[in-house]
Structures are given as C-alpha cells and as structure tokens.
C-alpha cells in the first residue's frame, strides 16, 4: 500500500512540473550604434538560477561580469545547478549592429533562459535577459533588452583598463572613438542596487573634459539588444 501511494505521488509530481527537453535557436543582435558587448553567457537553468534582481545588490559574480566582462563566476554558479550553458557565441566582442547565433539544447527542468554581457565602454553597464520562462509552444519569440547598471562602480567614464571587480574605470573602449585625460564624471554611485542604466554622458573633448567617452558615439537609448528565440 505504502509503495503504491509513493509511486502515485511521484507520478503526479512529475506531471505537474514542466519537464521537457527543448532545442532552441537563439539570435542576439546588438542594436546600438557605438557600444560593444563582451562575450555572452547564455544558459537554460532551473528556477533557482536567477542571475540578478532589479532593486537588489549585485552578487560578486555579477559584479565581475558587469565591471570586466568576466562571466566565469556566473557560469560556475549555473553549472552547480546543472544548467545548459554556452559561452562566447560571437567568439569575441559583438560589435554594434552585429548579430550572433547559437543553438542550445536544454535538459529536463531547465525551463528558464538567461543571457548576460557587459557593455563597453561603460563602468558597470550590462545587458541581461533575466530568467525568461522558455515557452513550451514551438515558435519564434522576440525580446528587446534594456541596459542595466550593476550599481557596483561609480560611472566615472574614465578609460584606464580597470576591469577587475572594485577597480575604478572602464577596461577598454573598443570603438576607438573615445578620448583621454577626462577628469571623471563622478566618483560615487548613489544607487548601489541594480537599476536601469541612466546612459553615459560623454563629452566632445578628446583630450580632457569630464569623460573619456565621446558624446556623439557612446550614448544610447533603450533597447540595446534584441533576442530572437526559436523554440523547435
């Protein structure tokens, strides 16, 4: 009797959770005119794999990604949850207006999709798809993503190679349109939780001014990325 009930219980539990392996075709498009994306982390994971929450402080591993583009910490977090992970589909930076595509096979129970990457040149700006529930119905789904600020670093807009967590400054300006000798826009971060990025200021002085960023190249308006997911 006891055995019967427990088997029945297991059967009910299995049917109530969406456990279904899926094959996804994912396309990521950089919608901006002058911002580069660092190598992406793309993962299907379970409900415990949420990488960030707006209004809350960033984890140390999210900070590492947002300040320097290093996704190894977040990838390890998700590996511990048996997530299906693809890293660096673009094999390097994803330049403005460019797209990259990948295929992701998900295993049973990994019903949420997350995608993150750092925006360059910014101090701690990142783009993120955050635990998007993968539809069970086959079809093509389009999601536009906004830019977030990790809230972990002052947006001084100084390009000095600072990419390690806690180090001030922007690691690099891949566009080559930036300047040098900026005094720094600010030395503090008023909102230390994750929020929608206010955008970069920049200036028109290539050898001075407040910012090392170029105000005609390095600003953006949301959205900054488009994700197209085809559920096969």
Partner 1 sequence: MNKTFLKISTIALAPLLLLSACGDSKSSKDPMVVEPPAPTPVNYSYQVTVTNLTHAQPMSPVAVVLHNEGSLWQIGEAASGALEVMAEGGDNTQVLAQDMVLAGESGAGLLMPGMHESIDVTLTDTMPMMLSVATMLVNTNDAFTGVSAMDISNLMAGESISFTARSYDAGTEFNTETAASIPGPASGGAGEGYNEARDDIADHVTMHPGVVSSDDGLSTSALSAGHKFDNPTLRITIARTE
Q: Decide: is 99 part of the binding site for partner 1 (CB under 8 A).
A: yes
Identify residues 163-202 at the interface with partner 1 (CB under 8 A). 175, 177, 201-202
Among 111, 118, 220, 229, binds partner 1 (CB under 8 A): 220
How many residues at the interface with partner 1, by CB under 8 A?
26
Nearer to partner 1 among residue 86 and residue 177 (C-beta)? 177
Reduce the DSSP state of residue 169 to 3 states and report it: coil
Residues numbered 130 to 169 that lie near partner 1 (CB under 8 A) are: none
95 lies in the binding site for partner 1 (CB under 8 A): yes
Hey, what's the torsion of the CAs at 17, 21, 22, 23, to 10 degrees? 160
Q: Strand locations in the chain, DSSP E?
A: 22-30, 36-37, 41-45, 84-87, 99-106, 112-120, 125-133, 139-145, 147-149, 195-196, 225-231
CB of 117 to partner 1, least distance (A): 16
Shortest distance (Å) from residue 145 CB to partner 1: 12
User: Which region among 9-17, 28-36, 65-73, 132-140 touches partner 1 (by CB under 8 A)?
Assistant: 28-36
Query: What are the CA-CA distances from residue 194 to residues 34, 127, 128, 152, 159 (Å)?
Result: 23, 12, 11, 8, 22
Closer to partner 1 by Cβ: residue 39 or 202? 202
How many C-alpha atoms does 48 have within 13 Å on its Cβ side?
8
| Residue whose CB is less far from partner 1, 48 or 144 | 144
Whichever of 163 and 202 has its CB closer to partner 1, that residue is 202
Q: Are 219 and 140 in contact (CB under 8 A)?
A: no
Judged by CB under 8 A, the residue of 24, 31, 118, 229 near partner 1 is 31
Q: What is the dihedral of CA 11, 17, 19, 25, to 10 degrees?
A: 160
CB of 102 to partner 1, least distance (A): 17
Does position 40 interact with partner 1 (CB under 8 A)? The reply is no
Q: Based on the shown chain and the rule CB under 8 A, indicate whether residue 230 belongs to the binding site for partner 1.
A: no
* Numbers of helices and strands, H then E, in the chain: 3, 11
Alpha-carbon distance of 118 to 140, in angstroms, equals 26
CA angle 139, 31, 97 (to 5 degrees): 105
Q: Which is nearer to partner 1, 161 or 208 (CB)?
A: 208
| Nearer of residues 177 and 195 to partner 1, judged by Cβ | 177
Our finding on whether 98 is near partner 1 (CB under 8 A) is: yes
Residues in touch with partner 1 (CB under 8 A): 29, 31-34, 95-99, 175, 177, 201-204, 215-217, 219-224, 226
């Amino acid at each position: 009797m006891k055995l019967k009930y427990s088997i029945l219980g297991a059967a009910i539990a299995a049917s109530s959770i969406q456990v279904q392996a899926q094959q996804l075709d994912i396309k990521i498009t950089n919608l901006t005119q002058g911002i580069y994306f660092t190598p992406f982390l793309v993962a299907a994971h379970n409900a415990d794999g949420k990488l960030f929450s707006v209004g809350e402080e960033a984890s140390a591993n999210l900070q590492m990604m947002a300040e320097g583009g290093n996704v190894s910490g977040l990838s390890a977090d998700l590996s511990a949850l048996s997530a299906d992970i693809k890293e660096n589909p673009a094999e390097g930076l994803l330049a403005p207006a460019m797209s990259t595509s990948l295929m992701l096979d998900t295993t049973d129970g990994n019903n949420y999709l997350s995608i993150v990457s750092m925006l360059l040149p910014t101090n701690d700006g990142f783009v993120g798809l955050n635990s998007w529930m993968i539809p069970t119905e086959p079809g093509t789904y389009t999601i536009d993503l906004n830019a977030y600020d990790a809230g972990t670093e002052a947006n001084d807009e100084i390009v000095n190679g600072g990419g390690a967590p806690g180090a001030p400054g922007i690691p690099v300006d891949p566009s080559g349109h930036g300047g040098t000798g900026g005094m720094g826009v600010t030395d503090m971060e008023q909102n230390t939780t994750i929020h929608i990025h206010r955008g970069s200021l920049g200036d028109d002085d290539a050898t001075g001014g407040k910012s090392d960023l170029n105000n005609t190249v390095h600003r953006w308006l949301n959205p900054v990325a488009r994700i197209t997911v085809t559920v096969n």
